[in-house]
């Protein structure tokens, strides 16, 4: 039985959890984005007590690598790296975009949606990156890349192309921008399916086990968050 600790501070809500094989046995969420660091440190200890499991009994630590909040990603990865180093455990890095895609597929399975059987299905994971820009990636129903992770500008021509390729599901914080773009009457006969749901520790547990079994681990010395574009900080005003 594989016991994994999961840490996600990539977005406004932080998640931590413990899973054994594919079953989540304990989890916590923090909704205050500026306190993720304190939440992780105290929450991990509380989770272990709740689950009756010692940190040294973990088989690996999984953490979201991004894209997402610049500060949040640094907080989560630093915490996960510190635990992995101290415990001498492997570190598993997981893409937030792949987690969104997994959540979309889970939704289709739970609702028994016939789209899941369509071989042309496209799952567009998108995280808001200001203006009309997003961090995005497109997957098929098996979570294989159809388009790799990158920062991109949303425009009507992009959706014309995607919708001509097959059914399209959009999920993530960039969905509201997509809805605005596809309000045009020319899209009304062929619209994306918009999902208002998020990933959870369950998705982290599932994808982490796949990487654990494949011995697909991060290098503790050199792994870094996947920002997908350079971070810009406003200059200080004197």
Domain ranges, ordered by start, for the chain: 3-95+199-213, 97-195
| CA dihedral of 130, 230, 156, 165, whole degrees rounded to 10 | -130
**Residue 24 near residue 90, CB atoms below 8 Å:** no
> In 3-state terms, what secondary structure has residue 94?
strand
CATH code that applies to domain 3-95+199-213: 3.30.420.40
Q: How do 168-171 and 133-139 pair as beta strands?
A: unpaired
- Residues facing 17 on adjacent strands: 6, 27
The structural architecture, per CATH, of the domain 97-195 is 2-Layer Sandwich (3.30)
Q: pLDDT value at position 184? A: 74
Q: How far apart are the first and last CA of the chain?
A: 57
Q: Given this model, what pLDDT does residue 185 score?
A: 62
Give the pLDDT score at 211: 98
pLDDT tens digits, 81-136: 999 999 999 999 999 999 999 999 999 999 999 999 999 999 999 999 988 899 99
Q: What span, in angstroms and rounded, lies between the C-alpha atoms of 128 and 200?
A: 18
**DSSP string spanning 165-196?**
HS-EEEESTTHHHHHHHTTSGGGTTS-PEEE-
Residue 191, pLDDT score: 84
**Measured CA distances, 120 to 27, 80, 139, 167 (Å):** 35, 37, 10, 7
What pLDDT sits at residue 230? Answer: 56
pLDDT at 219: 96
What is the rounded CA–CA span in Å between residue 115 and residue 124?
A: 14
230: left (phi over 0), alpha (psi -120 to 50) or beta: beta
At 187 the pLDDT is 72
- pLDDT per 10-residue tile (average), the chain, 238 residues: 96 96 96 92 95 96 96 95 97 98 96 91 95 94 95 91 94 92 75 92 98 97 86 41
Same fold for the pair 3-95+199-213 and 97-195: yes
């Amino acid at each position: 039985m594989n016991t994994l600790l999961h840490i996600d501070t990539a977005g406004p809500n932080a998640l931590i959890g413990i899973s054994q094989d594919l079953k989540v046995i304990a989890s916590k969420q923090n909704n205050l984005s500026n306190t993720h660091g304190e939440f992780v440190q105290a929450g991990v200890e509380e989770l272990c007590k709740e689950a009756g499991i010692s940190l040294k009994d973990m088989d690996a630590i999984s953490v979201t690598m991004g894209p997402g909040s610049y500060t949040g990603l640094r907080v989560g990865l630093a915490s996960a790296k510190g635990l992995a180093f101290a415990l001498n455990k492997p570190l598993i890095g997981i893409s937030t975009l792949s987690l969104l895609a997994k959540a979309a597929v889970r939704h289709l399975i739970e609702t028994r949606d016939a789209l899941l059987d369509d071989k042309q299905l496209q799952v567009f994971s998108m995280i808001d990156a200001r203006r009309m820009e997003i961090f995005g990636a497109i997957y098929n129903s098996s979570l294989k890349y159809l388009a790799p992770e990158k920062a991109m500008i949303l425009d009507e021509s992009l959706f014309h192309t995607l919708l001509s390729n097959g059914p399209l599901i959009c999920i993530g914080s960039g969905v509201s921008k997509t809805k605005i773009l596809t309000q045009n009457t020319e899209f009304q006969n062929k619209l994306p399916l918009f999902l208002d749901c998020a990933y959870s520790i369950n998705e982290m547990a599932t994808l982490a086990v796949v990487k654990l079994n494949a011995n697909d681990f991060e290098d503790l010395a050199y792994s870094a968050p996947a920002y997908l574009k350079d971070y810009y900080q406003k200059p200080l005003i004197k």
